[in-house]
Amino acid sequence: MKAIQFTFATICLTVTFLAATGCNNNQAPATPASSSTTEVVNTTTKSSFERVIKHVAGETILKEAPRNIAILDYSYIDYLTALEMKPGSTVSFVDNELPPYLSEQVQADEITFLGPIGGVNPEKVLAADPDLIIGTSPGQEKIYDQLSKISNTILLSQSAFDWRHTLNEFANIIGKEDKAIQLIANYDEKMKASAELVKATIGNESVLFLRVLEKDYRVYGKVSPAGSVLYNDLALKAPEGVPMDKKLQVISIEVMPELNPDHIFLLVQEDAEEKMGELQNNPLWKNINAVKNNRIYPVDQRLWIQGEGPIASSIMLDQAVKELTKK
């Protein structure tokens, strides 16, 4: 996931913003937490919900279940939606759009947009009047104090991709732990059956996730949303040379014969037609097993790169099984 950063345009805006918001009495001092994970600390209070959330930027006291959450990472829409809660406001990738794969669950006119990733508008965050802000780390530590003046703010670690862990973090924050347990159990049951079906169909054949950009070619390992589905959940075999402990690796055309995958999930960026043409016209590409046997499966960037979370993973799982098991 990409971290989102912004700074206030002027000192005047900062002063105005702080004066309008005042101090948030529920925000504990931003002392670094001892753990990079979100932890709920039980409290003896009158509220059945009240909890202290330990996270990478410190501790945040939530006295009530949040109802109007501002999320500063595009992928977080998936997690909240899966937990049957819509964000009040969010950043977006392009032109105030939500992930297309979530179109049946949530509509753009139901959410306030805070600006594009990398350009959150602080005035819009303030105007959205959130009762909780959820951001990312690394990336937003420098603005944590500023965000905390608007509302309670929690920063979730993005050091490694693990949607189950992140789902449980969100569940703890909004009080839907049982729902998260159910979602994970349902997914794991589906995952096991899917892996068995694919194994019975393709055996030990290798599978590659290849992304073609304007200037380079990239292959993806386990530390990515799509790679996690392919190589962890479906237990597919990656070609030798694909680093499983990394999100991605840039490769050259000359490396293709060494990888020689039996199946390729192919993502071509909109501005990469020329680069894809170079690949298709190269004899090395034409001699790859997946190409010779017509086992190339086009996929969508908005899901296979930008999608993350239980819903995205489930859809990618379905798409992978469909392609790999079709006659």
Question: Above 50 in pLDDT, residue 230?
Answer: yes
Q: Does residue 199 or residue 15 have the better pLDDT? A: 199
Residues in the chain: 327
pLDDT grade for 40, boundaries at 50, 70 and 90: low
**What tokens appear for 59 in the block?**
């501790």
Residue 117: the pLDDT is 78
The pLDDT score that the predictor gives to residue 9 is 41
Is 224 or 206 the better-scoring residue by pLDDT?
A: 206
Bridge partner list, 211 = 218, 267
Torsion sign over Cα 145, 122, 6, 86 = positive
Provide mean pLDDT across the span 68-80.
94
Q: Is the pLDDT of residue 36 over 60?
A: no
Where does 11-175 sit in CATH, by number? 3.40.50.1980
Q: Find the range with the poorest average confidence among 7-11, 82-86, 91-95.
A: 7-11
State both tokens at 125. 């965050």
pLDDT tops 50 at residue 196: yes
DSSP classification of residue 232: I
Least confident of 14-28, 179-193, 215-229, 250-264: 14-28
Angle between helices 163-174 and 177-202 (to 10 degrees): 160
Tell me the per-residue pLDDT of 45-65, one tens digit each, with 9 for 90 and over. Answer: 446 899 999 998 889 999 999
CB atoms within 10 A of CB 280: 11
3-class DSSP state of 70: strand
Q: What is the pLDDT of residue 8?
A: 38
Query: Residue 96: what pLDDT?
Result: 81
Res 184 pLDDT > 90: yes
State the pairing for strand pair 217-220/132-137: unpaired
What is residue 68's predicted lDDT score, i.e. its pLDDT?
Answer: 96
At residue 144, the pLDDT reads 86
Residue 121 is predicted with a pLDDT of 73
pLDDT value of position 244 = 86
Q: Give the burial class of 135: count Cβ atoms within 10 A of its Cβ; 0-12 exposed, 13-18 middle, 19 or more buried.
A: buried
Q: How many CB atoms lie within 10 A of CB 32?
A: 11
- Predicted confidence (pLDDT) per residue in 104-143, tens digit: 899 888 999 998 877 777 788 899 999 999 998 877 777 8
Mean pLDDT in the chain? 86
Cβ atoms of 298 and 268 within 8 Å: the answer is: yes
Measured distance between the N- and C-terminal CA atoms of the chain, rounded to whole angstroms: 35
Q: What is the pLDDT of residue 183?
A: 98
Kindly indicate whether the domain formed by 181-325 is annotated with CATH number 3.40.50.1980. Answer: yes
DSSP annotation of 27 reads B
For residues 167 and 188, the answer to whether their CB atoms sit within 8 Å is no
Nearest to 172, CA basis, from 132, 225, 204, 208? 132
Model confidence at 10: pLDDT above 60: no
Encode burial over 96-114: b for 16+ CB neighbours within 10 A, e otherwise: bebbebbeeebeeeebbbb
Confidence of residue 235 (pLDDT cuts 50, 70, 90): very high
d(CA 145, CA 307): 29
Mean pLDDT of 87-108: 88
Work out whether the CA dihedral 121, 122, 125, 127 comes out positive or negative. negative
Beta bridge partners of 208: 264
Q: What is the DSSP letter of 93?
A: S
- 291 pLDDT higher than 70: yes
> CATH 3.40.50.1980 occupies which residues in the chain?
11-175, 181-325
- Considering the chain, what percentage of its residues have pLDDT values greater than 90? 65
Please state, in angstroms and rounded to a whole number, the distance separating the CA atoms of residues 147 and 54. Answer: 17
